């Protein structure tokens, strides 16, 4: 498909060259001059913006390395996921069952945490009640001693 498009574009270029009376060699030279002109303009722009060519190349290289690293990490993630899946299959664990098991365990931990909070609240309430009873008893003793 791309080769057909490429051939069509090449034929269109050839027709344009013939119409303008330009030889292929002249056309190639024109393309080279335009490419050189673009490169010079880019260099001027970089200099105006304070971008060093070497720094720019290093930045591009670093970005390419980071993209490659992300790609490798994603491959490693997929490999690890596939290994997990193989292990589950070997152990006879269904993905859905495994997810349900994880949810149940998380729920169980949450319930235990809530129960421990309730236990602490009850313990604190019990302690406040004891203190209140002590205060009442002390007031009663003070009242009786005063009488």
Whether 145 is in a domain gets the answer no
Residue 133 lies in a domain: no
* Cα radius of gyration (the chain): 40
Do the domain assignments include residue 119? no
Helix ranges (H only) for the chain are 2-20, 24-49, 53-91, 95-146
Residue 64 within a domain: no
Structural domains in the chain (count): 1
> Using CA atoms, how far apart are residues 25 and 27, in angstroms rounded to an integer?
5
Within-domain flag for 43: yes
Reported as a single tens digit per residue, the pLDDT across 76-123 is: 888 888 898 888 788 777 777 878 888 999 999 988 888 888 888 888
107 within domain boundaries? no
Range of the domain at 46: 1-51
Q: What is the pTM of this model?
A: 0.27
Domain for residue 20, yes or no?
Answer: yes
For residue 26, tell me if it sits in a domain. yes
Tens digits of residue pLDDT in 21-65: 777 788 788 889 999 999 999 888 877 777 677 777 888 899 999
């Amino acid at each position: 498909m791309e080769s057909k498009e490429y051939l069509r574009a090449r034929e269109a270029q050839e027709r344009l060259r013939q119409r303008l009376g330009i030889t292929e060699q002249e056309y190639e030279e024109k393309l080279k001059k335009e490419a050189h002109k673009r490169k010079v303009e880019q260099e001027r722009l970089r200099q105006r913006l304070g971008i060093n060519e070497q720094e720019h190349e290093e930045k591009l290289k670093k970005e390419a390395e980071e993209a490659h690293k992300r790609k490798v990490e994603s491959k490693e993630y997929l490999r690890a996921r596939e290994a997990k899946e193989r292990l589950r299959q070997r152990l006879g664990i269904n993905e859905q069952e495994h997810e349900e098991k994880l949810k149940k365990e998380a729920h169980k931990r949450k319930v235990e945490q809530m129960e421990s909070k309730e236990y602490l609240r009850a313990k604190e309430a019990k302690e406040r009640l004891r203190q209140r009873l002590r205060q009442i008893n002390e007031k009663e003793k003070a009242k009786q001693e005063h009488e």
